[in-house]
Amino acid sequence: MSTSDDEQRSLGPAQSVSNEFAFITFTRVLTGNGERLLLESPKRRRRVLLDPVVLDALTCFTPEELSRLVASLDEERSGDDQPISTERER
């Protein structure tokens, strides 16, 4: 059975991580381009598929660098009342 780029087949149950600031679900999925990690943020109504190369690249950042990235995104998007529902594959 082949899976097209637009189709996704779950490779297991969705799991979640959360704290007082965020709630994220993640699921391993199979796409036409191989395995991806599907991250979904119900609060922001956004989702993204991350491939192993992007996930590996994340390990190059320190926690401080990632915190600065998140802070800059929050500042950039503050005041934007319109939630965006998009799917991006990296």
Q: Domain containing 78: what range?
A: 9-89
> What pLDDT score does 85 carry?
44
Cβ 46 vs Cβ 88: under 8 Å: no
Residue 3 lies in a domain: no
Distance separating alpha carbons of residues 74 and 70, to the nearest angstrom: 6
Whether residue 46 is contained in a domain is answered as: yes
- Cβ neighbourhood burial of 37 (10 Å; 0-12, 13-18, 19+): middle
- Asked whether residue 60 is assigned to any structural domain, the reply reads yes
- Which is higher by pLDDT, 75 or 6? 75
pLDDT of 24-77, one tens digit each?
999 999 999 999 999 999 999 999 999 999 999 999 999 999 999 989 987 777
Which residues does 85 contact at the CB level (< 8 Å), separation at least 6? 45, 46
Residue 40 domain flag: yes
Answer yes or no: is 2 within a domain. Answer: no
pLDDT at 90 over 50: no
Instruction: Say how many domains are in the chain.
Output: 1
Can you tell me the distance from the alpha carbon of 4 to that of 79, in angstroms, rounded to the nearest whole number? 37
Is 1 inside a domain boundary? no
- pLDDT for 60: 96
Residue 65, in any domain of the structure: yes
45: left (phi over 0), alpha (psi -120 to 50) or beta: left
What is the pLDDT at residue 63?
95
Distance CA 41, CA 48 (A): 9
